[in-house]
Amino acid sequence: MEVWGLNEREMNIFSAWYEQGVRNNSAVWLYAVGEAYTPIYEGDPKKALATLMFIDIFNRADEVFDEHRELFINNRTGRIDTSSLEETPILKMEKDYATLGELKRILYKAISNSQSYTETETRLLKWHIEHFMNVSTTAQQDFEHKNRYSLNEALALRWLTVGPMTDTIGGLYATSPLELGSRKEENLAFKANRNFLNMVIAWQLVDDYYDWEGDFKRRNINMVLGIIMDHKEPLPKGIIPPKENEDWVEDDYEVYEYSQETFEDTHPETIMDMKELYQSLTKELPQEAQDFLNQRVPSFFYENWLLK
């Protein structure tokens, strides 16, 4: 922390983050990073730490957004308001909370003073982080107000938020454009970025299956819900009454009391589309990465033709 040039407040924040440990999803993402970038990774632990900090900071922010989405809604427009994003509390301290902006500033000091990145790379990485925040928050404003959407719209939100995030992670962890000196290195970096992005989207698809009922009630966009709406298959009870400017039509869908045991019977077309999307995302991944992802998939993925 002294090497990074942290002040007393920042030291306390970093210590609290270190002691509390990272979110489970952050650990999964770091594992996925390792799987994807093994061919070009030089084994720099300082880069790995910066990568983990970046992942966990924004996973924490995303968790706060998902659980308290109503606090980010502009009452006049019904859309997401991200103007106070930097002030969002995401880490509990002894007497208060550390904000997203505070943790991001610590990350910038870690990148600038770690001696693992050149001055030019540091500027590029900071641009990537700011670009990710701008693109992802704009995407949330454009999509997150919807109550009725398709898989393509849910996927668009994922690509627009996760895509810039994986670009940043690739630069933090393993490579940057400045380090690519040949067509072979460029191809390796491109393949690593693509594999990592596909791993993250595949993981999110499975996560969306386990969270689809809660996301429906909280009005969080979810890929599995997008598939269900495409096929007009049943949605759970607990619909929040829509505002006048929202495009929800309750009569479009059968509403029933959701039961985990009946999902395969009530959502056959959704299950088929989930399998096809999962296969398209994972079919070109290394076997180790596929094996890791397959440990988390629902049991029905092992039926028929996908996993045997």
Strands 255-256 and 235-236: parallel
* CB-CB contact of 13 with 103 (8 Å): yes
* CB-CB contact of 132 with 168 (8 Å): yes
pLDDT at 217: 83
pLDDT at 85: 81
pLDDT at 184: 64
Q: Which one-letter amino acid corresponds to residue 51?
A: T
* CB-CB contact of 114 with 50 (8 Å): yes
**What does the pLDDT look like over 115-160, one tens digit per residue?**
999 888 899 899 999 999 999 888 888 887 788 899 999 999 999 9
pLDDT at 261: 53
The token pair at 41 is: 């990774």
The owner of tokens 């595949």 is 202
In DSSP notation, 65-87 reads HHHTGGGGB-TTT-SB--TTGGG
pLDDT at 93: 94
The token pair at 108 is: 């910038």
* CB-CB contact of 200 with 32 (8 Å): yes
DSSP symbol at 40: G
The owner of tokens 């290394």 is 286
According to DSSP, the residues that pair with 73 across neighbouring strands are 80
- The torsion angle over the Cα atoms of residues 229, 285, 165 and 111, rounded to 10 degrees, is 160
Question: Nearest 5 degrees, angle CA 81-CA 51-CA 221?
Answer: 35
pLDDT tens sequence for the chain (308 residues): 888 999 999 999 999 999 999 988 898 889 888 888 876 777 789 999 999 999 999 999 988 887 777 777 777 766 777 777 889 999 999 999 999 999 999 999 999 998 999 888 899 899 999 999 999 888 888 887 788 899 999 999 999 999 899 889 988 998 655 455 556 666 777 888 888 999 999 999 999 999 998 888 888 899 999 999 999 998 876 544 444 444 544 444 444 444 555 788 889 999 999 999 999 999 999 888 898 888 888 888 876 545 54
pLDDT at 242: 46
pTM above 0.85, yes or no: no
pLDDT at 127: 93
The token pair at 125 is: 């990485």
| CB-count burial class (<10 Å; 0-12, 13-18, 19+) for 293 | buried
The token pair at 279 is: 């296969």
Q: Give start and end residues of each alpha helix (H) in the chain.
A: 8-20, 24-37, 45-67, 100-113, 119-143, 151-173, 183-218, 223-231, 263-266, 268-282, 287-294
138: how many CB neighbours lie within 10 A of its CB? 14
Nearest-angstrom CA–CA distance, 274 and 294: 14
